[in-house]
Structure 1
Amino acid sequence: MIITVASGKGGVGKTTTSANLGVALSKIGKKTLIVDGDISMANLGLIFNLEKKKPSLHDVLSGECDVREAIYKHKTGAHILPTSLSIEGYKKSDLDLFPEVISDIADDYDYVIIDAPAGLNRDMAIHLAIADKVLVILTPELFSIADGIKIKQSSEMAGTSILGAVLNKTGRDFGEMGVDEIEMIVNEKVISTIPEDENIRNATLKRMTVIEYSPKSPSSKAYMELALKIVGSYVDINKIEEVYNEGFIDKVKRIFLRFKK
């Protein structure tokens, strides 16, 4: 399944969600590729310390190498297709090749997570059209909600259905919009809420996903629950008795395998 992670505006946690969701899917046994689809303002590679790797997606989109040469297996188990920070790389890239590139490798993976650029433009239209599903990233703020509606409308125009909305950075403001209110406005289900968590910022500074940096943190648990929902084997991790008597990731993986039987 190809999932495009999209937002109408920057700064809502789209790249963080793409990285952590991809790692979470990998941790529960799904072969997952995370793609930095923002070829002009790439950030995903920074989280995985791959932004200087050659070749990158820029080289693929310029026809200089095969896409499989630009995919790297990370220590988390996830596969990463990074985009470089090079302006020259961006200038030589042909985004029209992107759908063909993704289609060529999609069958190699259970999930392909595309971190799309923010906003509504031609680049975003390509990312929405190539996807099987779109995951809309929101924060509990009016501008983010309004922009999320535009992403939903654009997805519908592209013929791609919405997987759901992820509500990021919750719990920061006493007066923030609630889940029920947001679902009514957007007319989509909020399938996950990710709490404001200083561990996310700390993990980014360490160039890690929060699942690696602090697997017991509230945000890590939320991302793992999101992954389980997406694969259709959701359990409420907070209600699992003595969940931390063994490694958190090992516990989740064991429960997931039990669900599959």
Structure 2
Amino acid sequence: MSLKVGFFNLQGGTGKTTVAANFAYVLSEFTKTLLIDCDVYCGTIGLIFGLEDKEHNLNTYLNGESTSEEIIYSYDELDVIHADVTSKAFGYKVDIDRFSELISEISDRYDIIVIDFPPNITEGSLVFNYIGEEDLINKMIIVGEDSIPGIINSLKSIDLANDFSIETAGIVINKFKNVSDLTEIADDLLAVLPYSEEVERQWVESAPIVKLNRRNKFSKSMIDFTHTISKELLEKDLTTLRAIRLAKEIGMREE
């Protein structure tokens, strides 16, 4: 039984995918981690990890053309399931039940599954279609940008998650240029990640920025944030989940 951490914001363009991908990469250095790109129509995680030319991806799996084993790719210590980055993505149907089966099948292989959710809330979206399903998502992290609309949409995203009974860990402000007054979200603020032009390198060189340059100001903040949240928030939840799994296993043996 793995801990499932989602990254989300109603607003697009906040750098949510960059944060999720680098977060997962850092996590994988000390715990078994899987990253899933659930933006099946506009996903770009495949670009960060150089997977855009691979035949199998989440889209082909959801369409019944690939197995779960075929869509999991290893990048250093991190396992990745990417979405189709080409226009062919729009030709695939989204089988929500099949996605649920995928999560159930692979959950026990990992300590943490990081899910990059799409910003759009539409029919067939993988964001909130599984509300009520057991163990779909344990914690949601909202990634907002440094602007007044960005702060507002981050708070709206928390409200939406709460409406669906999804527990939010808090807000990460990305691309910070000291534009916004963050006092309004002080109670929910997890981290402030500075703007850095060098982050764009990851899209060209097909590698997360925390791998390309760990001394970059964004990378250092990203690494600090990942270690802090894993210790303060994730370790406790993961320990609880492991205890639940152990209790279930003992109960099954007694039966």
Please give the TM-score of this superposition, normalised by the length of structure 1: 0.80
> Distance between the aligned counterparts of 1:154 and 1:103, measured in 2?
25
Report which stretch shifted further, 225-234 or 8-17: 225-234
Q: How many residues align?
A: 225
Q: Which residue pairs with 2:104 in the alignment?
A: 103
For 1:9, which of 8, 11, 23 is the aligned residue?
A: 11
Identify which of 169, 177, 193 aligns with 2:175: 169
- Contact 1:120-1:151 within 8 A present in 2 as well: no
Which letter does structure 1 place at the counterpart of 2:167?
A: S
- What letter corresponds to residue 113 of structure 2 in structure 1? V
Corresponding residue SS for 2:129? helix
Q: What residue number does 2:118 align with?
A: 117
- Post-superposition Cα deviations, 1:58-102, rounded to whole Å, max 9, x if no partner, equal 111012222122100003x11110111244344233241223222
- CA contact 1:214–1:220 (8 Å) conserved in 2: yes
Q: Distance in 1 between matches of 2:217 and 2:142?
A: 21
Distance 1:128 1:22, change over 3 A: farther
User: Separation in 2 of the partners of 1:157 and 1:233?
Assistant: 25
Unpaired runs of 5+ residues, structure 2, are 234-255
Q: TM-score, normalised by structure 2?
A: 0.82
Amino acid at match of 1:12: T
* Cα separation, 2, equivalents of 1:60 and 1:153: 32
Give the 3 Å change call, closer, same or farther, for CA 170–128 of structure 1 in structure 2: farther
Aligned mates of 1:46, 1:21 — CA distance in 2:
16
Counterpart of 1:140, as a letter, is D
Q: Is the Cα contact below 8 Å between 1:7 and 1:147 reproduced in 2? A: yes
Q: Percent identity?
A: 24
8 Å Cα contact 1:45/1:82 also seen in 2 = yes
Q: Which residue of 1 aligns with 2:197?
A: 198
- From 154, 174, 184, the equivalent of 2:160 is 154
Pair 1:67–1:93, CA change in 2 (3 A): farther
Between the aligned partners of 2:146 and 2:225, the Cα distance in structure 1 is 18
Paired residues of 2:41 and 2:84 also in contact (CA < 8 A): no
Where structure 1 has 5 or more consecutive residues not aligned to the other structure, the ranges are 235-261
Provide closer, same or farther for how the CA distance between residues 221 and 207 of structure 1 changes in structure 2, counting only shifts above 3 A. Answer: same
Q: Note if contact 1:20-1:223 (Cα within 8 Å) is conserved in structure 2.
A: yes
Q: CA 1:47 to 1:217, structure 2 compared with 1: closer, same or farther past 3 Å?
A: same
Quote the Cα distance in structure 2 between the aligned partners of 1:118 and 1:192.
20
Match 2:24 to one of 22, 33, 41:
22
CA distance in 2, matches of 1:195, 1:26: 23
The one-character-per-residue Cα deviations of 1:207-250 (angstroms, maximum 9, x if unpaired) are 2211111111111111111211222169xxxxxxxxxxxxxxxx
